[in-house]
């Protein structure tokens, strides 16, 4: 019998059968074992050890300062030990002194936040398989992002940069995004779509990210998905104080979050400056806390930089636009936790043919008064 079928029989059918026969029920230990068998089905990873299962499936915590990856400083990607999906990049790992590996940023959409029942801490789990990773803490000031993912080494497997294991993991990530983002038309009035941009770099070149907010995230996401070199664009919420907000929470206007898009791209094919130049052309950076008919702080214009280099690029482009007469109100602030929006928001324009409401205006080649910028002046295209 197939492994999953056996587990399902043990979980559901066996207790009923025993009840009918007047026999003792299956023990809790047996049910737990069956549940673990179901959770580990069809994953491209070796079976979990007892300690790994304790952490990933039973939410145990490994002893501090004992984890294999606590002092690992090699370049690469940390993947889920259970399902093999990418969780964290080595560039986002830092020393916190807490005794467990610490990261201030996860791979986009890879980690789910679940508040503990007592409301005191926030658990983090693999968004793909549900395996327990650890907990996330905010406001401690360790890094500019002000976030610490405290992760059990036993929950992860390290894939060195450029290794076949890393390439396979990134390919799984790309294939998952492609499956969630079907191409083709979405009905009688839908516009034709192009193949998912995630398919452009399954070999591991998607190492850079940008986070921006420019009004309704449907249109911003759609615009970035059409850029060569962009591997993934994820709609979500960032810039506020509420942990794991819902769309309804953000719409109420009291979370501080903006509708934003996280762009993962291949820096050998498109630069961060090119990403931002496009951003300033597809939305109106002169509108304060609104974008077209959408009003509210959640529709503000913002760039969330991840390092000093990104901050400098954003400041340079804003300064140039101001030189051209644009009264830019775009906020430039450090990146914080990014919460992926609900599934029905992802790839909205691709799926429905609606939501592409952002118009493109060549602001870097056209002054605010409509006159063209003289040839050879201003910023050169990167």
Using DSSP's 3-state secondary structure scheme, residue 95 falls into coil
How many other CB atoms are found less than 10 A from the CB of residue 197? 25
Q: Is 354 exposed, middle or buried (0-12, 13-18, 19+ CB in 10 A)?
A: middle
For residue 118, what pLDDT is reported? 66
- The answer on pLDDT for 5 being more than 90 is no
What's residue 209's pLDDT? Answer: 93
List the beta strands (DSSP E) in 91-225. 93-94, 102-103, 111-115, 122-126, 132-138, 147-151, 156-160, 208-214
pLDDT for the residue 297:
93
- Provide, rounded to the nearest whole percent, the portion of the chain with pLDDT above 70: 77
What tens digit of pLDDT does each residue of 24-49 get? 343 444 334 433 433 444 577 889 99
In this prediction, residue 356 carries a pLDDT of: 63
Instruction: Indicate if the pLDDT at residue 293 is higher than 80.
Output: no
Residue 314 has pLDDT above 50, yes or no: yes
For the ranges 72-81, 292-301, 357-366, the maximum mean pLDDT occurs at 72-81
**For the segment 51-60, what is each residue's pLDDT rounded down to a tens digit?**
999 999 999 9
Q: What is the mean pLDDT of the segment spanning 126-134?
A: 90
> Is the pLDDT score of 17 beyond 90?
no
Residue 380 has a pLDDT of 43
Res 195: pLDDT: 28
Higher pLDDT residue, 27 or 297?
Answer: 297
Q: Which residues are catalytic?
A: 150, 216
Kindly report the backbone phi and psi dihedral angles of residue 256, in degrees, each rounded to the nearest multiple of 5, phi listed first. Answer: 80, -5
Structural domains present in the chain: 43-175 (2.170.150.20), 196-352 (3.30.1060.10)
pLDDT digits (tens, 9 = 90+) for 160-204: 999 999 999 988 887 765 444 333 322 222 222 222 333 333 335
Q: 10 Å Cβ neighbour count for 163?
A: 14
Other residues' Cβ atoms within 10 Å of the Cβ of residue 322: 13
Quote the CA–CA distance of 250 and 104 in Å, as a whole number: 23
Residue 127 has a pLDDT of: 85
pLDDT above 80 for 22: no
Token pair listed for 6: 């056996």
Question: How high is the pLDDT of residue 31?
Answer: 37
Q: Are 166 and 159 in contact (CB under 8 A)?
A: yes
pLDDT of 6: 44
- Among the ranges given (31-45, 69-83, 93-107, 181-195), the one the predictor scored with the smallest mean pLDDT: 181-195
Encode pLDDT of 315-372 as tens digits: 999 999 999 999 999 999 999 999 999 888 888 888 887 756 677 889 999 999 989 9
pLDDT band at 298 (very low <50, low <70, confident <90, very high): very high
Average pLDDT for 231-251: 91
The pLDDT value recorded for residue 357 is 66
pLDDT band at 18 (very low <50, low <70, confident <90, very high): very low
DSSP secondary structure letters along 281-343: HHS-TTSTTEETTEESGGG-EEEEESSHHHHHHHHHHHHHHHHTT-----EEEE----EEPPG
Q: Are 127 and 112 in contact (CB under 8 A)?
A: yes
Average pLDDT, the chain: 80
């Amino acid at each position: 019998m197939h492994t999953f079928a056996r587990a399902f029989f043990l979980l559901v059918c066996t207790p009923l059968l025993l009840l009918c026969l007047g026999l003792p029920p299956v023990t809790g230990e047996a049910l737990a074992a069956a549940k673990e068998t179901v959770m580990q089905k069809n994953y491209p990873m070796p079976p979990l050890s007892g300690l790994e299962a304790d952490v990933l499936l039973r939410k145990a915590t490994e002893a501090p300062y004992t984890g294999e990856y606590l002092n690992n400083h090699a370049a690469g990607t940390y993947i889920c030990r259970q399902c093999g999906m990418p969780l964290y990049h080595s560039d986002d790992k830092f020393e916190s002194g807490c005794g467990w590996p610490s990261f201030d940023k996860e791979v986009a959409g890879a980690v789910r936040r679940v508040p503990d029942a007592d409301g005191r801490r926030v658990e983090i789990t693999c968004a793909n398989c549900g395996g327990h990773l650890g907990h996330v803490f905010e406001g401690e000031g360790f890094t500019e992002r002000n976030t610490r993912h405290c992760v059990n080494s036993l929950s992860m497997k390290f894939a060195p940069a450029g290794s076949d294991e890393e390439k396979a993991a990134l390919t799984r990530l790309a294939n998952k995004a492609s499956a969630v983002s079907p191409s083709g038309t979405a009905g009688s009035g839908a516009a034709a779509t192009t193949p998912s941009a995630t398919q452009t770099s399954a070999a591991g070149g998607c190492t850079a990210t940008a986070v921006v907010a420019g009004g309704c995230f449907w249109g911003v996401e759609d615009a970035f998905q059409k850029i060569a070199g962009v591997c993934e664009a994820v709609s979500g919420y960032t810039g506020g104080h509420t942990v794991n907000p819902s769309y309804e929470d953000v719409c109420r206007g009291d979370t501080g979050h903006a509708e934003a898009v996280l762009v993962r791209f291949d820096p050998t094919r498109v630069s961060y400056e090119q990403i931002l130049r496009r951003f300033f052309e597809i939305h109106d950076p002169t509108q304060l806390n609104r974008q077209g008919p959408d009003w509210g702080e959640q529709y503000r214009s913002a760039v969330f930089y991840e390092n000093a280099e990104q901050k400098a690029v954003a400041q340079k482009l804003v300064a140039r636009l101001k030189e051209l007469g644009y009264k830019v109100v775009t906020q430039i602030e450090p990146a914080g936790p990014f919460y992926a929006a609900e599934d029905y928001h992802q790839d909205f324009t691709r799926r429905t043919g609606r939501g592409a409401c952002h118009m493109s205006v060549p602001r870097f080649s056209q002054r605010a008064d409509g006159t063209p910028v003289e040839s050879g002046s201003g910023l050169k295209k990167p």
